[in-house]
Amino acid sequence: MHSPSIAFFDVDHTLTRRSTGTHFALEAVRQGVISPWRLAALPFLYIGYRLGPRQRDSSTASYSSLPAFAGLDESWVRQAAQDAVHNRILPDLRPTALSMIQEAKQSGALVILATSTFDFIAEPLARELGIGMVIASPVEFAGGKTTGRVPGGLVLGPRKLQLCKDAADERGVALSSCSFYSDSVHDLPLLLAVGKPVAVHPDLRLRRHARLYSWLIVG
């Protein structure tokens, strides 16, 4: 039986106050999985992500390689991610996060996390939240190690739209009957495609769009 609707949720700054990637990095450094020097470029990548790209059809190819993260032991990475979820990410959930998810479930919608965060972080978080499906940026492992590659780039912008459309099509659900909760202007393509777009603690650019289109704004 197909679900009549899907509620897609972004994660970073939508369900959580801070970046889940930052939470993971801090936990991984604490455990000695990652050396602090490997994280030197992260603030610049984060600023670039928050400030751009500005166009809805922008490519995410520039985020398809993270050489500083190559060669890490897969089992250590996954354990650090699990610990980050318990120690840092769950306590960082916004007060409204669980209620929004619960309301979506009670409405009969299938809940899916649709996030640019890495899959090895999003998957244990989804399990803790009782969510069965994740669309997230895939980190490549080979021979029990990270390769430093993110095949296809981060899941945001047009790529997130396409992957969510594919998930909806597989279930016989039209995006026009779905909802999407996000904080970021990067998610405009999917927000414009769903029937119920919700701007959650939106950045300044998304807040302007939300007001222009009379979307629901939370926070």
Torsion angles phi and psi, residue 9, rounded to 5: -125, 125
The count of domains in the chain is 1
**CA–CA dist 25, 156 (Å, integer):** 21
Lowest mean pLDDT, pick from 64-73, 98-107, 141-150, 172-181: 64-73
pLDDT of residue 50: 54
Confidence tier at 52 by pLDDT (50, 70, 90):
low
Which two tokens mark 197?
A: 């777009």
Residue pLDDT, tens place only, 18-43: 999 999 989 988 998 887 766 655 55
Specify if 30 maps to a domain.
yes
Provide the residue range defining the domain that includes 113: 6-218
Specify if 62 maps to a domain.
yes
Specify if 1 maps to a domain.
no
**CA–CA dist 113, 10 (Å, integer):** 6
Pairing of strands 179-182, 6-9: parallel
Report the predicted TM-score, pTM, of the whole model to 2 decimal places. 0.89
